[in-house]
Structure 1
Protein backbone atom coordinates (compact mmCIF):
# COMPACT_ATOMS: atom_id res chain seq x y z
CA UNK A 1 0.00 0.00 0.00
CA UNK A 2 2.90 2.34 0.79
CA UNK A 3 4.34 1.86 -2.70
CA UNK A 4 1.00 2.66 -4.24
CA UNK A 5 0.79 5.77 -2.10
CA UNK A 6 4.25 6.93 -3.15
CA UNK A 7 3.34 6.41 -6.81
CA UNK A 8 0.19 8.48 -6.43
CA UNK A 9 2.08 11.25 -4.66
CA UNK A 10 4.67 11.38 -7.44
CA UNK A 11 1.96 11.72 -10.06
CA UNK A 12 0.36 14.53 -8.09
CA UNK A 13 3.56 16.55 -8.12
CA UNK A 14 4.12 16.48 -11.87
CA UNK A 15 0.77 17.02 -13.55
CA UNK A 16 -2.77 18.32 -13.41
CA UNK A 17 -5.58 18.26 -15.96
CA UNK A 18 -7.27 21.51 -16.92
CA UNK A 19 -9.57 22.53 -19.72
CA UNK A 20 -8.35 25.32 -21.99
CA UNK A 21 -11.31 27.73 -22.10
CA UNK A 22 -10.08 30.18 -24.71
CA UNK A 23 -9.11 30.54 -28.31
CA UNK A 24 -5.75 29.24 -29.41
CA UNK A 25 -2.57 27.85 -28.03
CA UNK A 26 0.23 26.90 -30.43
CA UNK A 27 3.55 25.68 -29.07
CA UNK A 28 6.87 25.58 -30.91
CA UNK A 29 10.32 24.06 -30.40
CA UNK A 30 13.15 26.05 -28.89
CA UNK A 31 16.30 23.92 -28.36
CA UNK A 32 17.81 26.56 -26.09
CA UNK A 33 15.03 26.61 -23.53
CA UNK A 34 14.60 23.99 -20.83
CA UNK A 35 11.06 22.60 -20.69
CA UNK A 36 10.17 24.15 -24.04
CA UNK A 37 7.42 22.27 -25.90
CA UNK A 38 8.49 19.50 -28.21
CA UNK A 39 5.82 19.72 -30.89
CA UNK A 40 5.86 22.50 -33.49
CA UNK A 41 2.46 23.86 -34.45
CA UNK A 42 1.19 26.80 -36.43
CA UNK A 43 -1.31 29.40 -35.23
CA UNK A 44 -4.67 27.73 -35.00
CA UNK A 45 -8.06 28.00 -33.35
CA UNK A 46 -8.42 25.54 -30.48
CA UNK A 47 -11.95 24.40 -29.53
CA UNK A 48 -12.92 25.20 -25.95
CA UNK A 49 -13.38 21.50 -25.18
CA UNK A 50 -9.69 20.66 -25.60
CA UNK A 51 -7.69 19.92 -22.47
CA UNK A 52 -4.11 20.69 -21.55
CA UNK A 53 -1.82 19.61 -18.76
CA UNK A 54 -0.87 22.84 -17.04
CA UNK A 55 0.65 24.41 -13.98
CA UNK A 56 -0.41 27.96 -14.69
CA UNK A 57 -1.74 30.47 -17.20
CA UNK A 58 -0.49 33.73 -18.67
CA UNK A 59 -3.51 35.98 -19.15
CA UNK A 60 -3.64 39.15 -21.24
CA UNK A 61 -6.43 41.67 -21.83
CA UNK A 62 -6.47 44.03 -24.79
CA UNK A 63 -8.20 47.10 -23.34
CA UNK A 64 -7.89 49.91 -25.87
CA UNK A 65 -6.34 50.43 -29.28
CA UNK A 66 -5.88 53.74 -31.07
CA UNK A 67 -5.37 54.00 -34.83
CA UNK A 68 -7.16 57.23 -35.69
CA UNK A 69 -5.62 57.39 -39.14
CA UNK A 70 -6.73 53.85 -40.07
CA UNK A 71 -3.15 53.21 -41.18
CA UNK A 72 -1.23 50.03 -41.83
CA UNK A 73 2.38 49.59 -40.75
CA UNK A 74 3.55 50.30 -44.30
CA UNK A 75 1.79 53.69 -44.23
CA UNK A 76 -1.15 52.80 -46.45
CA UNK A 77 -4.73 53.30 -45.30
CA UNK A 78 -7.05 50.40 -44.61
CA UNK A 79 -9.93 50.09 -47.07
CA UNK A 80 -12.60 50.72 -46.01
CA UNK A 81 -11.29 50.59 -42.40
CA UNK A 82 -8.93 48.55 -40.25
CA UNK A 83 -10.78 45.45 -39.02
CA UNK A 84 -8.39 44.72 -36.20
CA UNK A 85 -7.43 41.47 -34.51
CA UNK A 86 -4.30 40.64 -32.57
CA UNK A 87 -1.67 37.96 -32.37
CA UNK A 88 0.10 37.52 -29.03
CA UNK A 89 3.40 35.63 -28.89
CA UNK A 90 4.77 34.67 -25.47
CA UNK A 91 8.35 33.48 -25.12
CA UNK A 92 11.33 33.24 -22.80
CA UNK A 93 13.12 36.41 -21.77
CA UNK A 94 15.41 37.84 -24.44
CA UNK A 95 17.42 41.08 -24.32
CA UNK A 96 16.69 41.46 -28.02
CA UNK A 97 13.32 39.91 -28.80
CA UNK A 98 13.43 37.72 -31.90
CA UNK A 99 10.22 37.25 -33.93
CA UNK A 100 10.07 33.46 -33.64
CA UNK A 101 9.59 30.94 -32.18
CA UNK A 102 6.94 31.58 -29.53
CA UNK A 103 8.48 29.21 -27.02
CA UNK A 104 5.68 29.55 -24.45
CA UNK A 105 2.82 29.73 -26.96
CA UNK A 106 0.78 32.13 -29.05
CA UNK A 107 -2.84 33.12 -29.45
CA UNK A 108 -5.08 34.89 -31.97
CA UNK A 109 -7.97 37.08 -30.90
CA UNK A 110 -11.27 37.44 -32.71
CA UNK A 111 -11.95 40.76 -34.42
CA UNK A 112 -12.04 43.29 -31.59
CA UNK A 113 -12.93 46.50 -33.41
CA UNK A 114 -12.15 48.89 -36.25
CA UNK A 115 -9.51 51.63 -36.28
CA UNK A 116 -9.69 53.01 -32.71
CA UNK A 117 -11.78 51.14 -30.15
CA UNK A 118 -12.17 50.11 -26.51
CA UNK A 119 -12.65 46.44 -25.68
CA UNK A 120 -15.61 45.74 -23.32
CA UNK A 121 -14.70 44.78 -19.76
CA UNK A 122 -16.60 41.50 -20.08
CA UNK A 123 -14.35 40.30 -22.93
CA UNK A 124 -12.60 37.13 -21.72
CA UNK A 125 -8.82 37.49 -21.46
CA UNK A 126 -6.43 35.69 -23.78
CA UNK A 127 -4.90 32.68 -22.08
CA UNK A 128 -1.72 30.73 -22.73
CA UNK A 129 -1.19 27.73 -20.46
CA UNK A 130 2.28 26.61 -19.41
CA UNK A 131 3.47 23.29 -17.98
CA UNK A 132 6.74 24.36 -16.41
CA UNK A 133 7.88 26.37 -13.40
CA UNK A 134 7.13 30.00 -14.18
CA UNK A 135 10.52 31.81 -14.39
CA UNK A 136 9.19 35.25 -13.44
CA UNK A 137 10.39 36.93 -16.66
CA UNK A 138 9.18 36.77 -20.24
CA UNK A 139 9.27 38.40 -23.66
CA UNK A 140 6.05 39.36 -25.42
CA UNK A 141 5.18 40.27 -29.00
CA UNK A 142 1.80 41.85 -29.67
CA UNK A 143 0.83 42.34 -33.31
CA UNK A 144 -2.24 44.15 -34.63
CA UNK A 145 -3.47 42.86 -38.00
CA UNK A 146 -6.07 43.94 -40.52
CA UNK A 147 -8.55 41.36 -41.75
CA UNK A 148 -10.01 41.64 -45.23
CA UNK A 149 -13.23 40.00 -43.98
CA UNK A 150 -15.27 39.88 -40.81
CA UNK A 151 -13.23 36.93 -39.55
CA UNK A 152 -9.62 36.83 -38.34
CA UNK A 153 -7.25 35.73 -41.08
CA UNK A 154 -4.95 32.82 -40.29
CA UNK A 155 -2.36 34.55 -42.48
CA UNK A 156 -0.36 36.67 -40.06
CA UNK A 157 2.82 36.69 -42.13
CA UNK A 158 1.89 39.09 -44.92
CA UNK A 159 3.38 42.55 -44.18
CA UNK A 160 0.64 44.18 -46.29
CA UNK A 161 -1.94 43.48 -43.57
CA UNK A 162 0.19 44.30 -40.52
CA UNK A 163 -0.99 47.37 -38.59
CA UNK A 164 1.64 47.46 -35.84
CA UNK A 165 4.04 45.25 -33.90
CA UNK A 166 5.23 45.70 -30.32
CA UNK A 167 7.96 43.68 -28.57
CA UNK A 168 8.70 43.95 -24.86
CA UNK A 169 10.49 42.20 -22.00
CA UNK A 170 8.96 42.18 -18.54
CA UNK A 171 9.24 40.73 -15.04
CA UNK A 172 5.96 39.37 -13.72
CA UNK A 173 5.51 37.35 -10.52
CA UNK A 174 2.60 35.00 -10.01
CA UNK A 175 -0.47 36.71 -8.60
CA UNK A 176 -4.08 37.72 -9.21
CA UNK A 177 -3.37 41.45 -9.64
CA UNK A 178 -3.29 42.77 -13.21
CA UNK A 179 -0.24 44.69 -14.43
CA UNK A 180 -1.26 47.70 -16.53
CA UNK A 181 0.84 48.71 -19.53
CA UNK A 182 0.72 50.80 -22.70
CA UNK A 183 2.79 50.81 -25.88
CA UNK A 184 3.24 53.63 -28.37
CA UNK A 185 3.91 53.00 -32.06
CA UNK A 186 4.41 55.33 -35.01
CA UNK A 187 0.71 55.75 -35.59
CA UNK A 188 -0.93 53.47 -33.02
CA UNK A 189 -1.15 53.13 -29.26
CA UNK A 190 -2.11 50.04 -27.29
CA UNK A 191 -3.39 49.77 -23.72
CA UNK A 192 -3.40 46.31 -22.19
CA UNK A 193 -2.91 44.39 -18.95
CA UNK A 194 -1.57 40.97 -18.02
CA UNK A 195 -1.00 38.61 -15.13
CA UNK A 196 0.21 35.09 -14.35
CA UNK A 197 -2.02 32.82 -12.28
CA UNK A 198 -1.60 29.24 -11.14
CA UNK A 199 -3.95 26.53 -12.31
CA UNK A 200 -6.26 24.90 -9.81
CA UNK A 201 -4.31 22.91 -7.20
CA UNK A 202 -1.00 24.63 -8.11
CA UNK A 203 0.73 27.06 -5.76
CA UNK A 204 4.00 28.87 -5.16
CA UNK A 205 5.99 31.57 -6.94
CA UNK A 206 6.49 29.31 -9.94
CA UNK A 207 3.15 27.43 -9.85
CA UNK A 208 5.19 24.30 -9.23
CA UNK A 209 3.83 23.24 -5.82
CA UNK A 210 0.90 20.86 -6.18
CA UNK A 211 -1.75 20.25 -3.54
CA UNK A 212 -5.18 18.74 -4.20
CA UNK A 213 -7.51 18.22 -1.24
CA UNK A 214 -8.29 14.58 -0.68
CA UNK A 215 -9.86 12.23 1.80
CA UNK A 216 -8.97 8.72 0.72
CA UNK A 217 -6.38 5.98 1.14
CA UNK A 218 -3.55 8.27 0.10
CA UNK A 219 -4.26 11.14 2.47
CA UNK A 220 -6.81 13.18 4.40
CA UNK A 221 -6.18 16.90 4.03
CA UNK A 222 -7.16 20.25 2.60
CA UNK A 223 -4.75 22.84 1.20
CA UNK A 224 -3.64 26.15 2.66
CA UNK A 225 -3.13 29.42 0.77
CA UNK A 226 0.50 28.52 0.06
CA UNK A 227 -0.28 24.96 -0.99
CA UNK A 228 0.64 23.36 2.33
CA UNK A 229 -1.28 20.25 3.38
CA UNK A 230 -3.64 20.82 6.32
CA UNK A 231 -4.62 17.53 7.92
CA UNK A 232 -8.28 16.82 8.57
CA UNK A 233 -9.17 16.25 12.25
CA UNK A 234 -7.86 12.90 13.44
CA UNK A 235 -5.03 12.56 10.91
CA UNK A 236 -1.30 13.28 11.01
CA UNK A 237 2.16 12.98 9.33
CA UNK A 238 3.37 14.61 6.10
CA UNK A 239 0.58 13.28 3.89
CA UNK A 240 -2.01 13.11 6.66
CA UNK A 241 -2.32 9.38 6.12
CA UNK A 242 -1.71 8.24 9.71
CA UNK A 243 -4.75 8.18 11.97
CA UNK A 244 -4.60 9.55 15.52
CA UNK A 245 -5.68 6.84 17.93
CA UNK A 246 -7.83 7.16 21.05
CA UNK A 247 -6.14 9.21 23.77
CA UNK A 248 -4.04 6.94 25.98
CA UNK A 249 -3.95 4.05 23.52
CA UNK A 250 -0.69 2.17 24.02
CA UNK A 251 1.88 3.25 21.45
CA UNK A 252 3.57 -0.16 21.67
CA UNK A 253 0.60 -2.48 21.83
CA UNK A 254 -2.27 -0.63 20.15
CA UNK A 255 -3.04 0.81 16.72
CA UNK A 256 -5.93 2.33 14.78
CA UNK A 257 -7.17 2.36 11.20
CA UNK A 258 -9.54 5.28 11.81
CA UNK A 259 -9.20 8.25 14.16
CA UNK A 260 -10.27 7.58 17.76
CA UNK A 261 -9.88 3.79 17.59
CA UNK A 262 -7.64 1.65 19.79
CA UNK A 263 -7.20 -1.83 18.37
CA UNK A 264 -4.92 -4.23 20.23
CA UNK A 265 -2.04 -6.19 18.78
CA UNK A 266 -2.19 -9.95 19.29
CA UNK A 267 -1.61 -10.85 22.93
CA UNK A 268 -2.86 -7.53 24.37
CA UNK A 269 -6.24 -6.42 25.60
CA UNK A 270 -8.11 -3.73 27.49
CA UNK A 271 -9.61 -0.38 26.43
CA UNK A 272 -6.14 1.07 25.90
CA UNK A 273 -4.39 -2.18 24.90
CA UNK A 274 -2.14 -1.97 27.95
CA UNK A 275 -3.03 -5.35 29.51
CA UNK A 276 -1.28 -8.54 28.47
CA UNK A 277 -3.30 -11.72 27.92
CA UNK A 278 -2.57 -14.61 30.32
CA UNK A 279 -1.56 -18.04 29.20
CA UNK A 280 -4.84 -19.85 28.42
CA UNK A 281 -6.12 -21.56 31.57
CA UNK A 282 -3.93 -19.50 33.93
CA UNK A 283 -5.94 -19.25 37.16
CA UNK A 284 -3.92 -17.47 39.85
CA UNK A 285 -1.14 -15.95 37.82
CA UNK A 286 -0.06 -12.65 36.26
CA UNK A 287 1.82 -11.60 33.14
CA UNK A 288 4.22 -8.91 32.00
CA UNK A 289 4.25 -10.17 28.42
CA UNK A 290 1.52 -11.98 26.48
CA UNK A 291 0.78 -15.60 27.43
CA UNK A 292 2.81 -15.65 30.60
CA UNK A 293 1.45 -17.23 33.75
CA UNK A 294 3.54 -16.04 36.69
CA UNK A 295 2.01 -17.50 39.82
CA UNK A 296 0.98 -15.32 42.69
CA UNK A 297 2.42 -16.10 46.13
CA UNK A 298 1.10 -19.40 47.43
CA UNK A 299 0.25 -20.84 44.02
CA UNK A 300 2.09 -23.12 41.67
CA UNK A 301 1.76 -25.37 38.72
CA UNK A 302 1.58 -24.70 34.98
CA UNK A 303 -1.72 -22.89 35.36
CA UNK A 304 -1.07 -21.54 38.88
CA UNK A 305 -3.97 -23.59 40.12
CA UNK A 306 -2.19 -25.70 42.73
Structure 2
Protein backbone atom coordinates (compact mmCIF):
# COMPACT_ATOMS: atom_id res chain seq x y z
CA UNK A 1 0.00 0.00 0.00
CA UNK A 2 1.44 3.37 -1.01
CA UNK A 3 0.68 6.60 0.83
CA UNK A 4 0.83 10.16 -0.43
CA UNK A 5 1.65 13.03 1.93
CA UNK A 6 -0.48 16.04 1.18
CA UNK A 7 -0.03 19.53 2.64
CA UNK A 8 -3.27 21.48 2.38
CA UNK A 9 -3.41 25.19 3.10
CA UNK A 10 -6.25 26.36 5.31
CA UNK A 11 -8.28 29.31 4.14
CA UNK A 12 -10.68 30.56 6.78
CA UNK A 13 -13.68 31.09 4.54
CA UNK A 14 -16.99 30.97 6.33
CA UNK A 15 -19.42 28.45 4.92
CA UNK A 16 -23.18 28.54 5.29
CA UNK A 17 -24.14 25.75 7.66
CA UNK A 18 -27.33 23.93 6.90
CA UNK A 19 -27.24 20.76 8.93
CA UNK A 20 -23.62 20.42 10.08
CA UNK A 21 -22.98 18.55 13.30
CA UNK A 22 -22.17 20.92 16.20
CA UNK A 23 -18.68 19.52 16.73
CA UNK A 24 -17.58 19.87 13.09
CA UNK A 25 -14.67 22.30 12.58
CA UNK A 26 -14.27 22.45 8.82
CA UNK A 27 -14.87 20.86 5.44
CA UNK A 28 -12.55 19.12 2.99
CA UNK A 29 -13.64 19.12 -0.65
CA UNK A 30 -11.98 16.88 -3.22
CA UNK A 31 -12.47 15.67 -6.76
CA UNK A 32 -10.69 13.05 -8.85
CA UNK A 33 -10.12 14.89 -12.13
CA UNK A 34 -8.55 12.05 -14.10
CA UNK A 35 -8.43 8.28 -13.69
CA UNK A 36 -6.61 5.99 -16.10
CA UNK A 37 -5.85 2.31 -15.66
CA UNK A 38 -4.48 0.07 -18.39
CA UNK A 39 -6.74 -2.81 -17.41
CA UNK A 40 -9.80 -0.63 -17.97
CA UNK A 41 -9.07 0.64 -21.49
CA UNK A 42 -11.87 -0.37 -23.88
CA UNK A 43 -13.36 -2.81 -21.39
CA UNK A 44 -16.14 -3.07 -18.86
CA UNK A 45 -13.94 -4.73 -16.25
CA UNK A 46 -13.41 -1.71 -13.97
CA UNK A 47 -16.32 -1.93 -11.58
CA UNK A 48 -16.49 -1.60 -7.83
CA UNK A 49 -15.89 1.13 -5.25
CA UNK A 50 -13.17 3.70 -4.64
CA UNK A 51 -12.28 4.62 -1.05
CA UNK A 52 -10.51 7.91 -0.28
CA UNK A 53 -9.12 8.51 3.20
CA UNK A 54 -7.50 11.56 4.80
CA UNK A 55 -5.71 10.65 8.03
CA UNK A 56 -2.64 11.17 10.22
CA UNK A 57 -0.71 8.90 12.54
CA UNK A 58 -1.44 11.16 15.52
CA UNK A 59 -5.03 12.27 14.87
CA UNK A 60 -6.24 9.13 13.15
CA UNK A 61 -8.98 9.22 10.55
CA UNK A 62 -10.13 12.71 9.59
CA UNK A 63 -12.34 12.03 6.56
CA UNK A 64 -13.25 8.83 4.72
CA UNK A 65 -15.56 8.46 1.73
CA UNK A 66 -16.39 5.46 -0.43
CA UNK A 67 -18.18 5.82 -3.76
CA UNK A 68 -18.95 3.87 -6.92
CA UNK A 69 -16.17 3.72 -9.48
CA UNK A 70 -18.60 4.80 -12.19
CA UNK A 71 -19.12 8.08 -10.31
CA UNK A 72 -15.43 8.91 -9.82
CA UNK A 73 -15.64 12.37 -11.46
CA UNK A 74 -18.09 13.90 -8.94
CA UNK A 75 -16.94 16.55 -6.46
CA UNK A 76 -17.30 15.47 -2.84
CA UNK A 77 -17.23 17.22 0.53
CA UNK A 78 -17.09 15.96 4.10
CA UNK A 79 -16.77 17.60 7.51
CA UNK A 80 -13.86 16.90 9.82
CA UNK A 81 -14.26 17.02 13.60
CA UNK A 82 -10.65 17.25 14.81
CA UNK A 83 -8.26 20.22 14.50
CA UNK A 84 -6.81 20.12 10.99
CA UNK A 85 -3.15 19.01 11.27
CA UNK A 86 -2.00 20.46 7.93
CA UNK A 87 0.09 17.47 6.85
CA UNK A 88 -2.12 14.48 6.12
CA UNK A 89 -1.90 11.09 4.44
CA UNK A 90 -4.16 10.56 1.43
CA UNK A 91 -5.00 6.95 0.62
CA UNK A 92 -6.89 5.71 -2.45
CA UNK A 93 -8.00 2.11 -2.79
CA UNK A 94 -10.17 0.22 -5.24
CA UNK A 95 -12.47 -2.60 -4.15
CA UNK A 96 -13.38 -4.45 -7.32
CA UNK A 97 -15.30 -7.60 -8.08
CA UNK A 98 -12.60 -8.48 -10.62
CA UNK A 99 -10.07 -10.72 -8.90
CA UNK A 100 -7.31 -9.64 -11.28
CA UNK A 101 -7.76 -6.01 -10.31
CA UNK A 102 -7.94 -6.88 -6.62
CA UNK A 103 -4.62 -8.67 -6.86
CA UNK A 104 -3.10 -5.49 -8.30
CA UNK A 105 -4.68 -3.20 -5.75
CA UNK A 106 -1.24 -1.92 -4.68
CA UNK A 107 -0.94 -0.18 -8.05
CA UNK A 108 -3.60 2.22 -6.86
CA UNK A 109 -1.27 3.65 -4.20
CA UNK A 110 1.47 5.22 -6.36
CA UNK A 111 3.95 7.83 -5.19
CA UNK A 112 2.85 11.33 -6.04
CA UNK A 113 3.51 15.04 -5.73
CA UNK A 114 1.34 18.07 -5.26
CA UNK A 115 1.38 21.80 -5.91
CA UNK A 116 -0.93 24.67 -5.07
CA UNK A 117 -3.01 26.15 -7.83
CA UNK A 118 -5.48 29.04 -7.98
CA UNK A 119 -8.74 29.19 -6.04
CA UNK A 120 -7.12 27.68 -2.94
CA UNK A 121 -7.10 24.19 -4.43
CA UNK A 122 -4.22 21.75 -4.08
CA UNK A 123 -3.42 19.71 -7.19
CA UNK A 124 -2.22 16.13 -6.75
CA UNK A 125 -0.79 13.80 -9.40
CA UNK A 126 -0.52 10.10 -8.58
CA UNK A 127 1.42 7.84 -10.93
CA UNK A 128 1.61 4.07 -10.85
CA UNK A 129 3.00 1.42 -13.13
CA UNK A 130 -0.33 0.96 -14.86
CA UNK A 131 -2.44 3.73 -13.38
CA UNK A 132 -2.78 7.50 -13.21
CA UNK A 133 -4.84 9.54 -10.77
CA UNK A 134 -5.13 13.30 -10.56
CA UNK A 135 -7.04 14.97 -7.74
CA UNK A 136 -7.78 18.45 -6.43
CA UNK A 137 -8.59 19.15 -2.79
CA UNK A 138 -9.09 22.10 -0.47
CA UNK A 139 -9.90 22.71 3.20
CA UNK A 140 -12.20 25.43 4.54
CA UNK A 141 -13.21 26.30 8.08
CA UNK A 142 -16.89 26.23 8.96
CA UNK A 143 -18.79 29.28 10.15
CA UNK A 144 -17.24 30.95 13.23
CA UNK A 145 -14.13 28.72 13.05
CA UNK A 146 -10.72 30.25 12.39
CA UNK A 147 -7.00 29.60 12.58
CA UNK A 148 -4.67 27.22 10.76
CA UNK A 149 -6.46 24.25 12.32
CA UNK A 150 -10.04 25.67 12.29
CA UNK A 151 -10.15 25.13 16.06
CA UNK A 152 -10.54 28.77 17.14
CA UNK A 153 -14.18 29.74 17.56
CA UNK A 154 -15.37 33.33 17.25
CA UNK A 155 -19.10 33.98 17.40
CA UNK A 156 -20.23 37.51 16.52
CA UNK A 157 -22.07 38.05 19.81
CA UNK A 158 -18.88 37.57 21.85
CA UNK A 159 -15.89 38.37 19.66
CA UNK A 160 -14.52 40.05 16.55
CA UNK A 161 -12.07 38.95 13.88
CA UNK A 162 -9.54 41.63 12.95
CA UNK A 163 -6.86 40.78 10.39
CA UNK A 164 -7.29 37.06 11.10
CA UNK A 165 -6.85 37.65 14.85
CA UNK A 166 -9.61 37.01 17.37
CA UNK A 167 -10.46 39.90 19.69
CA UNK A 168 -12.98 39.47 22.49
CA UNK A 169 -15.79 41.96 22.82
CA UNK A 170 -16.01 43.87 26.14
CA UNK A 171 -17.26 41.58 28.89
CA UNK A 172 -15.93 38.35 27.38
CA UNK A 173 -12.70 36.41 27.82
CA UNK A 174 -11.12 33.03 27.01
CA UNK A 175 -9.32 31.52 24.03
CA UNK A 176 -12.58 31.53 22.06
CA UNK A 177 -14.20 34.46 23.91
CA UNK A 178 -16.67 32.01 25.35
CA UNK A 179 -16.42 32.99 29.05
CA UNK A 180 -18.35 36.03 30.37
CA UNK A 181 -16.66 38.39 32.84
CA UNK A 182 -18.73 38.54 36.04
CA UNK A 183 -19.34 41.64 38.19
CA UNK A 184 -16.18 42.88 39.97
CA UNK A 185 -17.30 41.85 43.47
CA UNK A 186 -18.50 38.37 42.44
CA UNK A 187 -16.70 35.60 44.31
CA UNK A 188 -14.70 33.46 41.90
CA UNK A 189 -15.27 30.37 44.05
CA UNK A 190 -18.88 30.90 45.18
CA UNK A 191 -20.41 32.71 42.21
CA UNK A 192 -20.68 32.54 38.42
CA UNK A 193 -22.35 34.36 35.54
CA UNK A 194 -23.97 33.54 32.21
CA UNK A 195 -23.75 37.09 30.90
CA UNK A 196 -21.15 39.82 31.47
CA UNK A 197 -21.57 41.92 34.61
CA UNK A 198 -23.91 39.60 36.50
CA UNK A 199 -23.28 37.42 39.56
CA UNK A 200 -25.23 34.25 40.30
CA UNK A 201 -24.58 32.38 43.53
CA UNK A 202 -23.78 28.71 43.72
CA UNK A 203 -25.87 26.55 46.04
CA UNK A 204 -25.21 27.43 49.68
CA UNK A 205 -24.17 31.05 49.08
CA UNK A 206 -25.97 34.39 48.95
CA UNK A 207 -25.34 38.13 48.97
CA UNK A 208 -24.35 40.60 46.25
CA UNK A 209 -20.95 38.99 45.80
CA UNK A 210 -21.98 35.48 46.90
CA UNK A 211 -19.70 35.73 49.95
CA UNK A 212 -22.38 35.02 52.58
CA UNK A 213 -22.94 31.36 53.40
CA UNK A 214 -26.46 29.97 53.83
CA UNK A 215 -26.91 28.24 57.25
CA UNK A 216 -28.78 25.00 57.78
CA UNK A 217 -32.47 25.43 57.05
CA UNK A 218 -34.29 26.29 60.28
CA UNK A 219 -31.23 27.53 62.19
CA UNK A 220 -32.85 30.17 64.46
CA UNK A 221 -30.19 31.68 66.70
CA UNK A 222 -26.94 30.96 64.94
CA UNK A 223 -25.15 30.92 61.63
CA UNK A 224 -22.69 28.95 59.53
CA UNK A 225 -19.87 27.22 61.33
CA UNK A 226 -16.43 28.20 59.98
CA UNK A 227 -18.20 29.81 57.00
CA UNK A 228 -19.35 26.40 55.76
CA UNK A 229 -22.79 26.36 54.10
CA UNK A 230 -25.67 24.36 55.60
CA UNK A 231 -24.23 24.24 59.13
CA UNK A 232 -25.70 25.76 62.32
CA UNK A 233 -23.38 27.25 64.94
CA UNK A 234 -25.31 28.64 67.94
CA UNK A 235 -25.01 32.18 69.24
CA UNK A 236 -24.14 32.59 72.96
CA UNK A 237 -27.03 31.52 75.17
CA UNK A 238 -28.50 29.04 72.70
CA UNK A 239 -28.10 25.35 72.07
CA UNK A 240 -29.69 22.47 70.14
CA UNK A 241 -29.32 21.28 66.54
CA UNK A 242 -31.22 24.35 65.33
CA UNK A 243 -30.03 26.69 68.10
CA UNK A 244 -33.63 27.00 69.28
CA UNK A 245 -33.09 26.01 72.95
CA UNK A 246 -32.14 28.77 75.35
CA UNK A 247 -29.06 27.87 77.38
CA UNK A 248 -28.93 28.99 81.07
CA UNK A 249 -26.26 26.98 82.80
CA UNK A 250 -26.71 28.64 86.18
CA UNK A 251 -30.43 27.80 86.32
CA UNK A 252 -29.81 24.10 85.96
CA UNK A 253 -26.52 23.85 87.82
CA UNK A 254 -25.87 25.11 91.37
CA UNK A 255 -22.13 25.36 90.85
CA UNK A 256 -21.19 28.33 93.06
CA UNK A 257 -20.79 27.69 96.82
CA UNK A 258 -20.32 29.77 99.94
CA UNK A 259 -22.77 32.40 98.74
CA UNK A 260 -21.19 32.89 95.34
CA UNK A 261 -23.36 34.33 92.54
CA UNK A 262 -23.47 32.29 89.29
CA UNK A 263 -23.34 34.15 85.97
CA UNK A 264 -23.77 32.52 82.53
CA UNK A 265 -20.73 33.21 80.38
CA UNK A 266 -22.08 31.56 77.18
CA UNK A 267 -18.64 30.09 76.61
CA UNK A 268 -18.77 26.37 75.68
CA UNK A 269 -15.41 25.78 77.40
CA UNK A 270 -16.31 27.77 80.53
CA UNK A 271 -20.11 28.08 80.62
CA UNK A 272 -20.28 30.01 83.94
CA UNK A 273 -18.31 32.09 86.42
CA UNK A 274 -18.84 32.81 90.07
CA UNK A 275 -18.78 36.18 91.84
CA UNK A 276 -17.52 35.33 95.31
CA UNK A 277 -18.29 37.21 98.56
CA UNK A 278 -15.48 38.69 100.63
CA UNK A 279 -12.72 36.34 101.71
CA UNK A 280 -13.90 33.58 99.25
CA UNK A 281 -11.86 32.54 96.20
CA UNK A 282 -11.69 29.76 93.64
CA UNK A 283 -13.63 29.16 90.45
CA UNK A 284 -16.63 28.08 92.53
CA UNK A 285 -15.92 30.21 95.62
CA UNK A 286 -14.87 27.00 97.32
CA UNK A 287 -11.73 28.49 98.94
Common fold: TM-score over 0.5: no
Q: TM-score, normalised by structure 1?
A: 0.41
Q: Which has the larger radius of gyration?
A: 2
Q: TM-score, normalised by structure 2?
A: 0.43
- Which structure has greater strand proportion? 2
